[in-house]
A and B are shown apart, each in its own frame.
Chain A
Amino acid sequence: MDLKNLTIKKFHQGLVDRKFSALEITKAVFDLIKSRDKEIGAYLRTSEDAALAKANIVDAELNSSGKIGVLGAVPLAIKDNILINGEITTSASKILENYKASYDATVIKKLKKSDAIFLGKTNMDEFAMGSSTENSAFQKTRNPRDLERVPGGSSGGSAAAVAANMCVAALGSDTGGSIRQPANFCGVVGLKPTYGAVSRYGLMAMASSLDQIGPITKTVEDAAILFKEISGKDEFDSTSVNPSTGRYSDELLNPDFEKIKKLKIGLPKEYFIKGLDKETQKAVQETINILKSQGFEFKEISLPHTKYALSSYYIIMPAEVSANLARFDGIRYSQISNLKSQILNLSDIYLKQRGLGFGDEVKRRIILGTFVLSHGYYDAYYSKAQKVRRLIKNDFDKAFQDIDVILTPVSPSPAFKIGEKTSDPLQMYLEDIFTIPVNLAGLPAISIPTRTNGLPVGFQLIGKPFREADILGIGQWYEKI
């Protein structure tokens, strides 16, 4: 059984054509996880019994009715900050080590309805804070394409699981690049939807004005399938919306390539900078050449405030982090038990549980956020950053008057070595300079592998709000060439 090329699309076709059963594939995936994940470390936990039981149910349904949805029995990996009812959900943090989710995230509810199978929960940077998955409180994850290197982050476990074929597709979350950058490092596809396109209900909040859940897959077509299934307005997330045209239509899955070919692509000069790694530049340029030869029209554009995105983001995000993570007090969800025997007052419990329960990066961001929101500094930092955010969004709005889609690199360089950047947080933050502006502006963007032979290098397509169809369309076109 060829798990390597098994996409959602092929899996579904195989089931329908009775080439294999859901049970056979699910068992094969778990066999692979058992042998391969020892060295990769993509999964924090797996749920084999539940997955095999579900596979049996779908097989029986298929045998009796002959009908099955496109995601029926598709084996998925889920990032560990997304709640599945009854399952341990930790966000890779010690402070939630024993927390069992009490309800399903909306995306999980939708996928359960589609009869998808959940293989397990994947490793990540603690509370999604990081770009290498090295900030997990529990384990390191290695890049399946080069075990000496990081898989990227924060959805590093999900990207590694897809790249190593230890699932057919996965869900991640993206606050400043956490889906696109690991997809880029592992040589797979990652989609960050428009802010509001996918419900955040049941996603542990990091920075609420920036977070989005999205698919990590082997192909752009699979990303379109999974995105269509999880998107839509949800009454439990008041920031979720339907596109102004109503529901996302079939153009996501069946793009009209005649229309797609007419889309104008912008190349922002601020993203093709001197510090860009040579191989990355070469690979992205080759992609541009391929698309040009296919008749796509390109235009150089300028997004003048790009330079300030990182600073703006590292003020706004920690501010939201400091507020969102206040709920983790070591009392309500989970606690570090070896403190139990000491007699402490309430304030000491907070200090100690949070002091021991949070890792260094999480603490750094909470302190940073507490500072920028404090009296006397609010205007100089937080308010200023929000105004710069507006200017960044205005840059995109202006550019999109002339062009339809923007093409850029995903990261300044390919996957780095494990341990290479852990001691210098600013260096780690700079990993996300090309992905952060998209979150600030709330736009959809996708990371797609180029055809380079060395370490994986992706390119990023950024679309207009709720025009996932454009970037997915070009991506599907690129896949066919």
Chain B
Amino acid sequence: MSEKINKQTLEKLAELARIEIDSSKEEKLLGDLAAIFGHFEELKEVDVSGVEPMAGAAELTNVFCEDKEIKCETPAIDLINAFPEKERDFLKVPGVFE
């Protein structure tokens, strides 16, 4: 588990996460991440053989709903009005096809 995140990995991760990272902040970020991953090393000591992963704190049970139309409490127009840019009732974004 001693993988360090290097500059290339960081840039790849930033691209995947769609976050532009200011190049002047890269070095500090790499140092912080190295320290954090250094701390994670302690997990190597823990024997987890036969342990089931715990995905949530609630004891989840399936929820079944009747297949019927229910009116949404929040008027759609309120959600549409929250769009920073729109045209008629549509969310406006630049063309995705070049």
Contacts and interface: CB of A to CB of B under 8 A. Distances in A.
Interface in A167-202: 195-196
A249 interface: no
Instruction: Determine which residue in A99, A307, A371 has the highest number of CB atoms from chain B within 10 A of its CB, and name it.
Output: A371
A424 B35 CA distance: 9
Contacts of A100: 82
B79 A102 contact: yes
B46 A390 contact: no
Contacts of A241: 58
A367 B48 contact: no
Given A331-B91, A388-B43, A388-B46, A351 B82 contact: no
Interface in A334-388: 334-335, 337, 343-347, 349-352, 354-356, 358, 360, 363-364, 366-368, 370-371, 374, 377, 380-381, 383-388
Contacts of A310: 39
Given A98-B84, A100-B82, A210-B57, A425 B36 contact: yes
Contacts, number: 166
Interface in A308-348: 308, 310-312, 314-315, 322, 326, 329-335, 337, 343-347
A387 B56 contact: no
Nearest to B47: A391
Interface in B15-37: 15-22, 25, 29, 32-33, 35-36
A429 B36 CA distance: 10
Nearest to A367: B13
B58 A442 contact: yes
Contacts of A391: 46, 48, 51
A388 to B, nearest CB: 6
A377 B2 CA distance: 11
Given A311-B40, A314-B36, A384-B43, A367 B58 contact: no
A367 B35 CA distance: 14
B42 A363 contact: no
Contacts of A393: 54
Contacts of A329: 18
Interface string B49-92: 00111111110100100000000011000110111110000010
B46 to A, nearest CB: 6
Interface of B: 1, 3, 5, 9-10, 13-22, 25, 29, 32-33, 35-36, 39-40, 42-43, 46, 48, 51-58, 60, 63, 73-74, 78-79, 81-85, 91, 93-96, 98
11 contacts: A196-B57, A311-B43, A326-B18, A346-B94, A367-B13, A371-B13, A383-B53, A384-B48, A386-B54, A387-B53, A442-B58
